[in-house]
Amino acid sequence: MSTVADESGGQIDVGYSAPACALDSLPTPQTNTTRCFPQYVAGDSVTEPEREWFNKYVVESATSTDRTGGAPDQLIGYSYLDGAAWRFDDDGLTKEKHKTWSQWRGYGRVRVQTGGQGTGGMKTQEERYFLRGMDGDRKEPSGGTKSVRVDLAAGEGDPLTDHASAAGFEYKAVTFTGPGGKALERSVNCPWHHQTAERKRS
């Protein structure tokens, strides 16, 4: 979906990212920080599934247009920083030999700017920080476990364990004086979890 016409005469156009990888330059699955990922597909009772690579697409911009009143376009731009994360498949249904790092865990930092079109059109800037649940992920195809912690800036608290239960949790938000400006306001939230049950897989 790239265009939405609303009931009040407005229109929203969405811009997506370009493909991230080519077949001649694929990343290593267990250390992959790009937007392309491996997945075992096809296969049947006779033929084994084959590993193929796919691109993940994210929204880079959303433009709101006034089609009736002629008001200036309003633009929201998204920049995805510090690399993407993929976790080893743990769906419980896929055979072990057909599992790989194909669970999308997103970005740890996203910059959001709003304003208008053209040079100098952007007027506001925020950065949002997210946990992705990467602690405990498989380290290598043969096994092993990753230990992942997220460091906070001075005065913000102790490092956070990137626990699986906190995937998607927004732990910090920073508002700036404007695009490329100084930090004006920040908030930090620390998650907690308490295990109440466990499922053992054999």
Cα–Cα distances (Å) from 17 to 21, 58, 133, in that order, read 12, 6, 24
The whole-angstrom separation of Cα 85 and Cα 104 is 7
β-partners of residue 119 are none
Strands 160-161 and 170-176: unpaired
Lowest mean pLDDT among 42-46, 65-69, 121-125, 142-146: 42-46
The whole-angstrom separation of Cα 139 and Cα 136 is 8
- Of 13, 119, 128, 19, give the one whose Cα is nearest residue 76: 13
pLDDT for 45 equals 76
Query: Domain map of the chain by residue range?
Result: 3-129+173-188
Q: What is the mean pLDDT of residues 156-171?
A: 96
pLDDT for 202 equals 63
- Span 69-83, pLDDT tens digits: 888 999 999 999 999
Scanning the structure block, which residue is given the tokens 């490329």?
180
pLDDT for 194 equals 86
- Looking at the predicted structure, is the pLDDT value of residue 44 above 80? no
Look at 53 and 92; give whichever has higher pLDDT. Answer: 53
The whole-angstrom separation of Cα 90 and Cα 100 is 9
Lowest mean pLDDT among 53-57, 96-100, 116-120, 182-186: 116-120
Read off the pTM: 0.90
Q: What is the mean pLDDT of residues 126-149?
A: 97
The stretches of 92-195 forming alpha helices (DSSP H) are: none
Scanning the structure block, which residue is given the tokens 């990888």?
21
